[in-house]
Each structure stands twice: as structure tokens, then as C-alpha cells.
Structure 1
């Protein structure tokens, strides 16, 4: 019995040892791109072109591999394009209205006794203050400035000052207030303004007052320290950020007859993460309410029954192209959640749309890798049974900021290389499958033999026990 169990265990171990690990070399992938780098950067990026998405065999790009010249695999990470924004700075010249009076008259929550005239659009026309009792005519001095920056929707975050001609050095501490109606003034705070000329006639200037960005139309400037000065110019600065759309790839697919009714079928690629979708019409005027989806083949409910075709709707929209008064308006591209489809099905709802082309739009990912090993490198892809090989970005570019990742050197790709599958590979695979089946059959035979032997010994033991019970 011990001999039988030992034999079973040995066969099992032999079966495990016989199942060799699958090969994973550049020759095992039907498509490849040679990549070259300058050699000056340790971490390099490569934005995946359309050719990779059209030939990759998996939706998550797990069939991508990166090899060096000697065929050694390199670690890499897949990075989605990050969100980017462009910062722009604009200046709006303010109209300046000087106000005379005693120091500190202008500060407060109201108009400070000023006579303010505005136009129907809010434009500031004049700002004056009547002379006070006991004040000699013509002796009033500059006490504050009222500014009108105009009607704008931009948020202002700073004021920039320019000295009048003939003034080189100046120092003051000013108090800034803002208002939208010239009645209630909100204090921003105090700030210092400085212009200093050194011995080399170089001017060191602190000519800006910065504050938290806010929207207002009017500002009031008064002095807490230094002599009041009528500046040659004051500008309001505004900073705005505009989102930058990442690089987008576009693919136009032509229609073919579908399998049901007036359905149209478009052959895409399973690896493309579709983010926008649209139709291109050849007719000048067409409105096409439709549903985009995909087919699913369902097996018969009972043995022998044929399979049925099911339609899964994914996107419902009305696509159109209309020419009116010499101008063409169209539905454009519609944003969708990232979708992966090897085949798209268009089902018209009114049956009158011709055969429009299908336009797919997506943002390609980048391969980020450490340029070690021997260049040139090879990006291989197109093997459906490949296991995922990409690693986390921190394992390739640890400590890199988003700004550094966006400025990485871009590897340069050579021509696409495609090859036919190795004709000997199916025979080798079939031979391996037959060998595995034979090993499995032998293992089951030994197991059944062992069970039979155990049953025989159990029968003998029971028979001996019965014979002993019958003996006198």
C-alpha cells in the first residue's frame, strides 16, 4: 500500500514539473515597436500611438512588454494623461480719482462725505469733497485715491503701481478698501510700497499689493505712513486658469451591415478606451436618433437549440448634420465613460440615416520606464494570453512630481514590425496538451488502481474477521 501511495505522489510531482512556464520573449509577440532614447535621462516616457491600440489584444493593455537589446524585460508603468491647466495673467488699467482732505478722512465704512457721480453703467465720473468749515480754499492736500477698474467678471488678486515721472525713490504704507457700490467699503488691509535706487542706479521695487482673489469694481487707497502720491498708473491684476485638454487620438470607422434589421456594424479595437464618440455624415441634412451598443451571443436554453443574438445598448443620442443659411451645424462628439469594444453596433431609431462613419476619440496613456539595460528597446504587444506586467509608477519613478513627469524625455519610435504567428507553435502547443492529457490519464489510472487494491485488502480483512467469528 505504501508503494502505491508513493507512486501516485511521484506521478503528481512529475505532472507539475512537466508543465513548463510559458515563454515570454520578444518573439512571442506578433507586434513590436523599436524605441530609442538619448541616454541623458534615467526615466523616460513614451506616449502610446494609435498603432498600439489597434493591435493590442487586451482592454487593460496587460499584453504590453518592454525588452532591451538582449531580450531582458524592463519594468514599466502605465500612466494616464494627467489633468493640466494653463495660468494666464492679465492687467486692467484703473481710472484714478484723487481725493483731497485731511489724513484719514477717507477711511471708514461709508463714502466719507464724498460727492461721487457715476454713469448709468456704473462708470465713475467724478469724486469730490466739499471744503470743511475753517479750511482755507486751495490748501487741501491729497488724502486718498478712488479707483474704478471697470466692469469685469475676473477676480482681482493684486494692484500694481507706477511712479510718476521724476520720482525715483518712494516709501509708503497704504490702506486698501474695496467696494461694489461706492457706499459700503470692505477693508483688505495695509501694505507697504517701496522703490529704492542703489548706488549702481538700479531700482529695487515692491510695487504690488497682493491679496486673496476677489471680484470688485471700486477700490480706495489711503495713506497710513509716507507722503500721499498721485501715481502715474495703477493696474488691477487678474490670474485665470484654463484647463488644457490632453492629447487625443481619433479613429474613423466605416459602416458594414449588421446582423439584425437596419443595424450598422463598425470594427474597432478592444484596447481603445473610448472617451468621446460621434458620427460623420455624407448627407447634407440628416437627423438620426439612434442607440450605440454591442452584440452578445447567447447559447440555446436547451441542448440542440441554436444560439440567439442579444443587443446591449450603451449610448443613446440624436446625431445630426444640418446645413442652414450656408452654415453647417453638427452634433459633434459626445463624451462617454471610457468604453472598450472590439465591435460597435449602431441601431437607428427612425431608419433614415444612410451609412455614417463612426468617430472614436480617446486620450492615450504613456509608458514610463527606467532606461537601463542595453538600448535600443523594444515595445512588444498583441498576445491575448499575456499576464499583466506593468508596475506602480512609484516603482519606476519614485519621488517624481507631476511637473517632472510631464517634462520627461519622450522616447522615439521606429517603424511598426508585425510578423505571422510561428507555424510550429500550434504543433508544439498541441503536443504539450496531449502530453498533459496523457499524464492526467496515467494519474487517474494509478489512483483507480490504488482504490481497487485498497478495496481488495478491505474485503480480505472483512472475510478473515467473519471466518474467525464462525470458528468454535
Structure 2
């Protein structure tokens, strides 16, 4: 009897010891990535690699740890950068001059007809009203984008026209010059369009310049005549910090759902997705699309985004709108529903591309390297919230943290065995 009680006591202690928490080791994780610092900084920061999202078992990224060369745990934290806020736009009307002439007239002569030399010797445009004769047609427009010596970084041009009685789509030809004598093409696709579809108005009235252009711009139809007269053109400048670099991944496996126009797919891990691009496989596709997502296979679907998707080809020039903004969602399972009444996306499956801004991983470089980023473990619990640099000013944080660190290729530690829960028996 006394021996039986002793066995029960030992089993009870063993159960308690098995349930008591212990410090995690490298062998408790499935995968690892070696980190090589480039400077002698006390802290390092790097964007979380895609392999980590693919290998963790927790949606909150709690099964992630940092180790130094001796296998000791290092303090770390994860932060999710704020989505890039749209910069403040400045709009400035540009001088707009119609080019009237016969269909055989030289555009160079039409451009020089409305130009003059200023006292500084450079060319500018006359500000008088230009009238056309009875036999002349509208060949295009000459734009003076700015005056003076300071060259602004114009991101795009915004075209304005009255609502037309019927839809149109027109490919444009852009040429630029600083002296109205030597002209060279602008290598950007330019299309203006105003179409009606399913009770909605589809307008393409922007020309992207991305800051690269000269003082004068000549805008003419690639072929044919201008579909209508423009009322004004605005140059749009954006005052903002450089956009955060985004990561992208293509969804290769897409399944057709039971419903017409339904597609089901998964993303590779708990990525903080903020945008999806739906690229129809067949050209000249225009449809209405809705995105849904859920965290688990049995959770209800939640609508994330909705919009009109089109991918049109006008004489070799693409006209497309493929982006669906979803805010920021890390759900694993997704559902795409398109309007099947108008043909949907055609017979071929679409191409889906997800975009996200990765978490920033910051850790203390305590001890000797090389440092190891280990992830994927059923034994790891969530990390306690906190900041490694609380109490430091912004300038001090910039001096303490270095981004000069290189992440190697992912390799196996314990492998998939670290992701398999161990069966625990209650011997009592």
C-alpha cells in the first residue's frame, strides 16, 4: 500500500513537471533563418521574410523566437507598419492650347504658330484665344506644364471634359519638348475613356507621368480625331514620403466554387494583406467583383472589398483596373465572386496577386552571433506586448537600431515534428 502511494506521488509530480513551463530551445522549432549583421549595433530591425509567414503555426506570430550563437533567447518585438497614407495632392492648371488645322497639316507648324520667345530667350506660349477656321479640325493640344526655371515633379495629368452623349475610348500619343523644336515621345501608355457599364460610369481621365517630363507636352490622338474637346487639364503633384515597399505573391492554386462566378483560394500564411490584384486571363474582360475572407474553414464569410475589374486592350495599349483594396486582413481563406451574368472572367481562371507590407522584426543583439530566427512550434505561446525602446526619443532610437542585417535561406530545425501537438495523458 505504501509502495502504491509512492508511485502515485511520483506520477503526480511527473505530471506537474511536464505541465510546468520551460524555456524554449532551438530544437522546439520547425524552421530557422540565420541572420548576419553588417554593423556592431545593439539592436537590429528587418522586414519579416515570407518564409516565416508560411512556417508559423499561430496567426498572431507567437511561435517566433530569436537566439544568439550560444542558443540563448534574445528579446524581440514585432510591429506592423501603418499603411501608407495618401500624400497631400497639389493641383495646378496647365496652359492648354488647342491645335487646329487640316488633317494633313504639320503638327510642328501648328505648335510654333502659338509660341513666342520671351526676354530670357526661352519659348513660351501666347495667351490669346485661338480660333479655328471652317475647314480646320481639332488635331490635339499643346500644354505648357510650368513657367520659370524650377521644374516640378508632376505625377500625373488630370483631364476634364463635359459628359459626352455617348461613350468613347481613345488612345493618345504624347510628345515632350523644352524648346518646341525637338520633340521626343513620352514612354507611358495614355488612354482617355468614358464608358457606361451596368449602370455605372467608367472614366479614364488620368495620364501618369511619374515626375519625368519636359516643359511642353503635345497630346494628340494616336489615330483618328479627338473624340471631344477638353475643358481643362490639371497637373497633379504629391507631397508625401516615399511609399513603403510592398511584398507580393502570386496565388497559384485557385478552385472554382459551386456557384457560378465563384473562386476559392488560400494565401500562404497569416500575411497582413492590404491589396489584391485580380488579373483576368482573357483580354477585353470587364466585370464586377467582390472579395470575401475568413480565418478558419468553418467561419462565416466576411465581405472585404468590391469593385469593377477590367482589362481592355486598345490597339496594343492596355487599359486596366485590377486592384481591390482590402484594408489589412490576415485571414487564410478567401472567396472571389464575379458577376457571371455578363460572362464573368471567361473560361480561364484569373491570376491573383496579393500585396502586403510585412511586419518589422526588432531584436536585441545580445551575445555573439550568428543569430537565429526560429519559428513554427506548438510549444510557443503568444509574446507579451511591449517595446524594447520605450523611454528613448525618436532620434535615439534611430541611432540604436540598424537595418544592415542579411537574412539567409530558411532551413529545417526540428522540421514538421515541431508542429505536431504531443498527446498528454492525465495519469490521475
- In the superposition, the TM-score normalised over structure 2's length comes to 0.55
Checking the alignment, whether the CA contact within 8 Å between 1:292 and 1:347 is kept in structure 2 is yes
**In 2, are the aligned partners of 1:76 and 1:391 still within 8 Å (CA)?**
no
Partner of residue 73, structure 2: 73
Partner of 1:245: 243
Change (3 A) 1:373 1:362: same
Tell me by how many angstroms 1:19 deviates. 2.1
Q: CA RMSD in A?
A: 4.1
Q: Is 1:328–2:327 an aligned residue pair?
A: no
For 1:312, which of 302, 315, 318 is the aligned residue?
302
CA distance in structure 1 between the partners assigned to 2:297 and 2:80 by the alignment: 33
Contact 1:85–1:243 (CA<8 Å) still a contact in 2? no
In structure 2, C-alpha distance between the alignment counterparts of 1:285 and 1:326, rounded to whole Å: 12
Matches within 5 A, 1:83-162: none
- The offset of 1:55, in angstroms, is 2.4
1:404 corresponds to: 398
Pair 1:252–1:341, CA change in 2 (3 A)? same
- Compute the displacement of 1:259 (Å): 4.4
The answer to whether the 8 A contact 1:275-1:362 is kept is: yes
Distance in 1 (alpha carbons) for counterparts of 2:50 and 2:18: 40
Indicate the residue corresponding to 1:377 in structure 2. 371
Shift of 1:14: 7.5
**SS class of match (2:308):** strand
Task: Give the structure-1-normalised TM-score.
Answer: 0.50
For 1:392, the equivalent position in structure 2 comes to: 386
Partner of 1:280: 279
Which residue does 2:344 correspond to in 1? 352
Tell me how far apart the structure 1 counterparts of residues 397 and 239 of structure 2 sit (CA, whole Å): 16
Residues paired across the two proteins, number: 277
85 and 324 in structure 1: CA distance in 2 versus 1, 3 angstrom threshold: closer
How much has 1:419 moved relative to structure 2? 4.9
- Which structure's residues are more often helix, by fraction? 1
Do the aligned residues in 1 keep the contact of 2:56 with 2:377 (CA within 8 Å)? Answer: yes
Q: Say if 1:245 and 1:315 are closer, same or farther in 2 by CA, change over 3 A.
A: same
- TM-superposition CA deviations, 1:160-184 (whole Å, max 9, x none): xxxxxxxxxxxxxxxxxxxxxxxxx
Q: Tell me the distance in 2 between the aligned counterparts of 1:349 and 1:290.
A: 7
Q: Retained in 2: the 8 A contact 1:65–1:389?
A: no
Residues of 1 paired with 2:381 and 2:375: CA distance? 12
More divergent stretch after superposition (359-368 vs 402-411): 402-411
Match among 234, 253, 260 for residue 258 of structure 2: 260
Question: Does the CA-based 8 Å contact 2:244-2:357 persist in structure 1?
Answer: yes
User: Residues 425 and 33 of structure 1: is their aligned pair in 2 closer, same or farther, counting only changes over 3 Å?
Assistant: closer
Identify the range of structure 1 (386-395 vs 408-417) with the bigger mean alpha-carbon deviation. Answer: 386-395
2:268 is the alignment partner of 1:269: yes
User: Is the CA contact 1:55–1:269 (under 8 Å) kept in the aligned structure 2?
Assistant: no
Change (3 A) 1:85 1:370: farther
Change (3 A) 1:288 1:383: farther
The answer to whether the Cα contact below 8 Å between 2:275 and 2:355 also exists between their aligned partners in 1 is yes
Structure 2 SS opposite 1:52: helix
Distance 2:51 2:419 in 1: 25
Residue in structure 2 matched with residue 305 of structure 1 by the alignment: none
- Deviation track 1:253-292 (CA, whole Å, cap 9, x = no partner) reads 0243244324222221342001111112221111131221
SS at match of 1:53: helix
- Aligned partner of 2:225 in structure 1 is none
Equivalent-residue separation in structure 2 for 1:71 and 1:396 (angstroms) = 26
**Distance in 2 separating the partners of 1:275 and 1:421:** 30
Aligned to 1:244, the other structure's residue is in SS state coil
Query: For residues 367 and 42 of structure 1, do their structure 2 counterparts lie closer, same or farther at Cα, with a shift above 3 Å needed?
Result: same
The DSSP-based 3-state class of the residue aligned with 1:245 is: coil
Cα 1:247–1:390 change in 2 (3 A) is farther
1:364 equivalent among 352, 355, 358: 358
Q: Structure 1 residues 312 and 425 mapped into 2: Cα distance closer, same or farther (>3 Å)?
A: closer
Is the contact made by 1:47 and 1:410 (CA closer than 8 Å) also made in structure 2?
no
3-state SS of 1:51 partner:
helix
Structure 2 spans left out of the alignment, 5+ residues: 1-7, 88-117, 120-125, 129-146, 153-236
**Residues 57, 75 of structure 1: CA spacing in aligned structure 2 closer, same or farther, 3 A cutoff?**
same
| Native 8 Å contact 2:376 2:419 kept in 1 | no
TM-aligned CA distance change 1:277 to 1:397, over 3 Å: farther
Counterparts of 1:313 and 1:257, CA distance in 2 = 19
Pair 1:438-2:419 in alignment: no
Is the 2:305–2:325 contact (alpha carbons within 8 Å) kept by the matching residues of 1?
no
Distance 2:29 2:404 in 1: 23
- 1:49/1:290 CA distance change after superposition, 3 Å: same
